[in-house]
Amino acid sequence: MSSQNEKVWSDMQASPEFQDLKRKFRGFAFPLTVAFLVWYFLYIILTAFAREWISTPVVGNINVAFILGLLQFASTFLIMWLYERHSSHSLDGPSDALRDKVDKELSK
C-alpha cells in the first residue's frame, strides 16, 4: 500500500464522521452482545444447577428447558432483526458516504 493510500485511510479513520459511525455501531452492538451472553449463560447455568426447576412440565412433554431453548433461537432472530433495522437506519448511509469519500480520495 502506498503512503498516499495509508494517509487517506488514516485520515478517514481519524475523521469525526468515522468516529461517530463507530460510536453508533458500538453503542448498539456491545450492550446487545452483553445482554445476549448473559441470557445464554443463564440458560447454561440453569441447565447445570437447576435441573429440577427446568425439568418442570409446562404442557405435556414440553418442559421449561425446552421453552428456554426455543427462546434462545427466538432471541437470536430478534437480535438479527434489530441489528438490520439499526444498520439500515443509522449505519448504512454514513458508511456509504465515507466509502465514497475514500474512493474519491484514492482515485486522485
CA 99 to chain centre: 21
Domain that holds residue 8: 3-106
pLDDT digits (tens, 9 = 90+) for 35-78: 999 999 999 999 999 999 999 999 999 999 999 999 999 999 99
pLDDT digits (tens, 9 = 90+) for 2-23: 788 888 889 899 999 999 999 9
Number of domains comprising the chain: 1
Contacts of 43 (CB under 8 A, 6+ apart): 68, 69, 72
21-59 burial, b at 16+ Cβ within 10 Å, e below that, comes to beebbeebeeeeeeeeeeeeeebeeeeeeeeeebeeeee
Name the one residue in this structure whose C-alpha cell is 448504512: 92
- Torsional sign, CA 86, 89, 92, 98: negative
Residue of 96, 1, 79 lying closest to 40 (CA atoms): 79
Name the one residue in this structure whose C-alpha cell is 421453552: 67
Task: Kindly report the pTM of this predicted structure.
Answer: 0.80
